[in-house]
A and B are shown apart, each in its own frame.
Chain A
Amino acid sequence: MKGHRIPESHVTHPNVTPLIDVVMCLIIFYMLVAKWGVATGADERIDLPVSFQGVKIMDMGNTVTLNVRAAFEMPVVTTLNPRTGMTEEVKLMDGQQRPLLKLLKYLRGQNENFKVIIRADQDLDYRFLEPVLVTCFEAKVKDVNFATREGSAKGS
């Protein structure tokens, strides 16, 4: 009697299982390290100074980020507009108005313990930073934090 033979497998296409494994790992990696839905208004073009002594802020919900750049004699301050979700300029002085002071006072009225995060270029002169700090002082902001890049404690 002639027995049944198991037919030989003729798979003509390549085995894609390792490819899927690798690609899935890459997707999981990107999903974990990418920022999702976090809009703080931080201007990523700003070259932050390096420090090793700073602390991490876990609760970014109580913060307002102010990006400070130099422009002629007055700084340009940008922050996140929660209505539009875009980073927009907030003027220090607008005629007789002081929009940044008004914004900080409003935020402080909402939450007395809110924090200000200042992001400034490492080569920025203090004269551009000072008006922003004066405005924070006038708005009675209690907690001012300076964003830095985490670095090593090598000697200066």
Chain B
Amino acid sequence: MKLKSAQKVHYDAGPNMTPLVDIVMVILIFLMLTGSFVVNEIFLRNNVALVKKGQSANVAPNVPLDEPLEIRVDSEGSENWVAQAGGYQVRNSREKLAALLTNMRKELNASGTTTEKIQVVLSPGRNTKYKHLVEVQQAALEAKLVKIAFSQAH
């Protein structure tokens, strides 16, 4: 009787999955090792590459020149920055700088200069850190100033 039960037919339902699992595992390990992930990158846009000292950003003939709004940016060490615009100075606060620039924009708008005609010129020092320039550029964007360019180092 024992021998009879051992001789029972073995029923294996479905296809053999072992080769599939092998291949799929190889693909998975390959993807995990070689894949570089999409990093969320966003871009801050300048309408011109650079504004040279004493020049306007738009040099096309018969086009009125933009109203320049210069922001002087300096780094104080690796973490602190100071921005000067319109005779005011702001330290390490993007929000305060954005508020100042918003007021300046409103004043220019009130005097007949449209926002599209305001050319923000960021004037960094030679040792101004790039991240501090990004902070100031963001403050300008928060103030709805869209035409932004860098100038040569002061």
**B135 neighbours in A (Cβ, 8 Å):** 156
Q: Compute the total of residue contacts between A and B using a CB distance below 8 Å.
A: 172
Contact, CB under 8 Å: A54 / B9 = no
How long is the Cα–Cα vector from A143 to B9 in the complex, in angstroms? Answer: 75
Contact, CB under 8 Å: B44 / A9 = no
Which single residue of chain B is at the shortest CB-CB distance from A117? B43
Type the 1/0 row for A113-156, where 1 means its CB is closer than 8 Å to any CB of B. Answer: 00011001111111101100110110001111111111000011
How long is the Cα–Cα vector from A122 to B130 in the complex, in angstroms? Answer: 5
Which single residue of chain B is at the shortest CB-CB distance from A12? B10
Label chain A's interface by main secondary structure.
Answer: mixed
Interface residue range, chain B: 35 or more
Least Cβ distance of B130 to chain A in Å? 5
How long is the Cα–Cα vector from A16 to B18 in the complex, in angstroms? Answer: 9
Interface residue range, chain A: 35 or more
**B41 neighbours in A (Cβ, 8 Å):** 48, 56, 147-150
Residues in chain A within 8 A of chain B (CB atoms): 7, 9-11, 16-17, 19-20, 23-24, 26-27, 30-31, 33-35, 44, 48-57, 116-117, 120-127, 129-130, 133-134, 136-137, 141-150, 155-156
Residues in chain B within 8 A of chain A (CB atoms): 8-13, 17-18, 20-21, 24-25, 27-28, 31-32, 34-50, 52, 78, 92-95, 124-131, 133-135, 137-138, 141-142, 150, 152-153
Q: 11 more A-B contacts (CB under 8 A) besides A33-B35, A35-B36, A141-B49?
A: A33-B37, A49-B131, A50-B131, A54-B43, A126-B124, A126-B130, A137-B50, A142-B47, A145-B44, A145-B45, A156-B92
